[in-house]
Amino acid sequence: MVVAIPTTPDQSPVQELSAYKTALAQYDRAVAHIDIDDGVKEFMRYPRREFAVNFPVRRDDNSVEMFTGYRVHHSTVMGPSKGGLRYSSHVTLDEIRALAMWMTWKCAVVNIPYGGAKGGVVVDPKSLSERELERLTRRYASELIPLISPHSDIPAPDMGTTPQVMAWIMDTYSMHAGYSVPAIVTGKPIHIGGSEGRIEATGRGVVVAMAEALRFKHGHFDATETSVVIQGFGNVGSNAAAHAHSLGFKVVAVSDVSGGIYNPDGLDIPEVRKYHAENGALEGFPNSQAVTNTELLQLPCDVLIPAALENQITADNAPKIRAKMIVEAANGPTVPEADDILNERDVLIVPDILANAGGVIVSYFEWVQDLQAFFWDVDEVYRRLERIMIDAFNAMVRTSEKYEVDLRMAAQIMGIRRVADAMITRGFYP
């Protein structure tokens, strides 16, 4: 398939294994099944607007360093744009564009009233002191002020950002407004307007999606007989591991950037989390065997949960994957060529835009609670989260049967169809 890639004047066409190329290839495959005007199809391929900023930060030694940040609004058709902020030395405009587009389909597939956005700063947050991180965040937030508001674009945490980072953004925006604006970001600490359950939401939602997928595939399953491998032990991976473990699943391997640990009889996840918090690494955890991230993806298991970066499952390693099912906790972990190989091999893939939507669903609850200044307890949050995840999962299965496509295509078709219908009803301005 030939994929035409939109570029902006300052960008050369995106590279091989670019996340945006993956996002566009998935989009082009999905829209081929949908009967809509070519102009509408073309409209949804493009980000609505893209913002790049270079800004100075004073380091603790008094020197000044320049940083680059982005915010991309892919779509505002369904409501304000929504999506996280990533702090990583690997951030590129190409990656942020892809992540913004995935946010559009993600919000639409679970039917929450948002468009898609994403932002990021090219920085390794571990290379900064706490004070430097605060100065960088406040300066980046002040640069974003013309683009964000509780009714236009609402940031949230993503890789490398934390509830504390969200608190600094909320404070910076509020200082400019002259009053507190908690609904400007989600994923805040609970005592300044955050939601119960937000930290756990993505990982918990991944496990809800996994359980639905096991039921869909086998009719019935025994958690204690189901082995799970998780790549990534950040907020999403560690909370997915914890929730899976608490439901009795056998989490046999987990990893972080430096490598993984494996025990075919199952790992004691609460102990692993304690060990990881104390040592800053998984390596050396008792009663486990060290594995590399490459080996981890190829371990025999029932379910593989990639919960790290994009482009992890490629045409090279897809033939070697021994999992029977993949539940995508990361955004964009599987490239389209790997989808084809895994489909051929009958490995069921629960796509990212459904599997990891728990985070933005509870972000939506947080925003609603902030706007109403009326807060819910954690049971209410989890009950509503699970209902939305399960309804969306079932709708995705029905779509896959109707169009005779895999679950990724079904989720994409649902999301794209909803945005297209809204756009057609609203009409093209002027």
- Please, what is the minimum distance in Å from the beta carbon of residue 178 to ligand GLU? 25
Decide if residue 82 touches ligand GLU (CB under 6 A).
Answer: yes
Q: Do the Cβ atoms of 338 and 90 come closer than 8 Å?
A: no
CB of 214 or CB of 360, closer to ligand GLU = 360
Please identify which residue in the block is written with the tokens 């009233």. 113
> Which one of residues 47, 69, 80, 84 is an interface residue with ligand GLU (CB under 6 A)?
84
Decide if residue 133 touches ligand GLU (CB under 6 A).
Answer: no
CA pair distance 279, 389, nearest whole angstrom: 34
CB of 172 or CB of 356, closer to ligand GLU = 356
> Near ligand GLU by CB under 6 A, which window of 164-172, 253-261, 359-367, 377-385?
359-367
Distance of CA 402 to the CA centre of its chain: 27
Decide if residue 235 touches ligand GLU (CB under 6 A).
Answer: no
Decide if residue 119 touches ligand GLU (CB under 6 A).
Answer: no
Please identify which residue in the block is written with the tokens 């004047």. 9
CB of 75 or CB of 288, closer to ligand GLU = 75
> Near ligand GLU by CB under 6 A, which window of 4-12, 131-139, 174-182, 353-361?
353-361
CB of 299 or CB of 415, closer to ligand GLU = 415
Written as one string, the DSSP assignment of 151-216 is: TTEEEEE-TT--HHHHHHHHHHHHHHHTS--GGG-SS--GGGTPPTTHHHHHHHHHHHHHHHHHHH
Written as one string, the DSSP assignment of 21-81 is: HHHHHHHHHHHTTS---HHHHHHHHS-SEEEEEEEEEE-TTS-EEEEEEEEEE---SSSSE
- Phi then psi for 233, rounded to 5 degrees? -130, 35
CA pair distance 375, 355, nearest whole angstrom: 26
Residues assigned a catalytic role: 118
CB of 84 or CB of 260, closer to ligand GLU = 84
Decide if residue 73 touches ligand GLU (CB under 6 A).
Answer: no
Residues of span 168-227 touching ligand GLU by CB under 6 A: 186
Decide if residue 363 touches ligand GLU (CB under 6 A).
Answer: yes
> Near ligand GLU by CB under 6 A, which window of 39-47, 82-90, 268-276, 286-294?
82-90
Reported as type and span, the H/E element at residue 305 is strand 303-306
CB of 324 or CB of 418, closer to ligand GLU = 418
Q: 214's torsion region: left (phi>0), alpha (psi -120 to 50) or beta?
A: alpha
> Which one of residues 136, 156, 211, 272 is an interface residue with ligand GLU (CB under 6 A)?
156
CA pair distance 10, 197, nearest whole angstrom: 41
CA pair distance 370, 91, nearest whole angstrom: 30
> Which one of residues 203, 260, 359, 415 is an interface residue with ligand GLU (CB under 6 A)?
359
Reported as type and span, the H/E element at residue 43 is helix 38-45
- Please, what is the minimum distance in Å from the beta carbon of residue 133 to ligand GLU? 18
Q: Which amino acid, residue 117?
A: A
At 122 the three-state DSSP class reads: strand
Contact mark string toward ligand GLU, 315..344, x via CB under 6 A: ----------------x-------------
Strands 64-73 and 115-122: antiparallel
What Rg value do the Cα atoms of the chain yield, rounded?
21
At 54 the three-state DSSP class reads: strand
Decide if residue 158 touches ligand GLU (CB under 6 A).
Answer: yes
Decide if residue 161 touches ligand GLU (CB under 6 A).
Answer: no
Decide if residue 88 touches ligand GLU (CB under 6 A).
Answer: no
CB of 194 or CB of 336, closer to ligand GLU = 194
Contact mark string toward ligand GLU, 261..280, x via CB under 6 A: --------------------
Nearest to 357 by CA among 112, 92, 179: 112
Task: Enumerate binding residues for ligand GLU (CB under 6 A).
Answer: 82-84, 156, 158, 186, 331, 356, 359-360, 363
